[in-house]
Structure 1
Amino acid sequence: MLDWNSYREQVLAGVGALGKLTPDTVRGYAMIGNAGTKTDHLDAKTRELIAVAVAISLRCDGCITVHTDAARKAGATQEELAEALGVAIGLNAGAGLVYSTRAMDAFAAAGE
Structure 2
Amino acid sequence: MDGLNQDGLVPQSTPEMAKKKADLVPETANAWRNFSNTVFKTGALDEKTKQLIALGVAHVTQCANCIKGHTKMAKLKGASNEQLMEAIWVASEMRAGAAYAHASIAMEAMETHG
Give 1:49's aligned residue.
52
SS in structure 1 of the partner of residue 45 of structure 2:
coil
- The amino acid that maps onto 1:46 is T
- TM-score (structure 2 length as normaliser): 0.79
Residues 16-31 of structure 1 mapped to structure 2, 5 A cutoff: 16-31=19-34
Q: CA deviation at 1:39?
A: 6.0
Letter in 2 for 1:19: A
Count of matched residue positions in the alignment of Structure 1 and Structure 2 = 104
Corresponding residue of 1:7: none
Runs of 4+ residues over 6 Å off in structure 1: none
- The residue number in structure 1 matching 2:108 is 105
Query: What TM-score, normalized to structure 1?
Result: 0.80
Separation (CA, whole Å) in 2 of partners of 1:29 and 1:19: 10
Distance 1:85 1:38, change over 3 A: closer
Indicate how the Cα distance of structure 1 residues 63 and 98 shifts in structure 2: closer, same or farther if over 3 A, else same. Answer: same
Cα offsets for 1:2-40 (capped at 9, x unmatched): 88xxxxxx5251222211111123223223322334561
- Identity rate, percent: 36
Q: Which residue of 1 aligns with 2:92?
A: 89
Among residues 65, 76, 85, which one is paired with 1:73 in the alignment? 76
Give the structure with the higher percent helix.
1
Structure 1 residue 94, shift from structure 2 partner: 0.5
Q: Secondary structure at the match of 2:13?
A: helix
My pick for the range that moved more, 36-45 or 96-105, is 36-45
Higher relative contact order (CA 8 A, sep 6+): 1
Task: Give distance in 2, aligned partners of 1:103 and 1:12.
Answer: 41
